[in-house]
Copies of this chain bind each other. A is one copy, B any other.
Amino acid sequence: MKELQEVDFQKLDNQLCFPLYAASRLITKCYQPLLKDFELTYPQYLVLMVLWEQDKVPLNYLSEKLYLQSNTLTPLVKRMEEMQLVTRQRSKEDERSVLISLTEKGQSLKCEAKEVPTQLVANFDKMTTEELKLLHQLLYKLIGNFEE
């Protein structure tokens, strides 16, 4: 078995980052037909998932959860506001913060889109439950590596 030090890292197949990048896009693409029924993009769906767990949060709460900055989230959330999924209001305690809240339409999507994750998992039928769990753990460990 080759040691890590001997591997030619300039080969695409040996990169760790490339399969991450590819897998991420492939799975996002799998979400698309499922989310299309609700006129949602994947990042918009992520914002909803955060809000379904904790409603009425400042933008920087979304930022921390999703690892996205205001330059991405501000326009994204504004589009969701136009779609009547969320509302944005300045916090009275701290005028710098903008509180994002679910509208009724945004809340009702939680039930309506309930089957999306299970429908998605069907795509991983060639991987065992153990493998999926392990992958999940390793990815979170990797992410934790960057939160010093």
Contact = CB atoms under 8 A, between A and B. Distances in A.
A96 interface: no
B12 A20 contact: no
Interface residues of A, number: 59
Contact of A66 (B22, B27, B114, B117): B22
A23 to B, nearest CB: 5
Interface stretch (A47-55, A76-84, A97-105): A47-55
A133 interface: yes
Given A22-B67, A124-B145, 9 more contacts: A17-B28, A18-B46, A19-B142, A21-B46, A23-B142, A26-B67, A131-B141, A134-B138, A138-B138
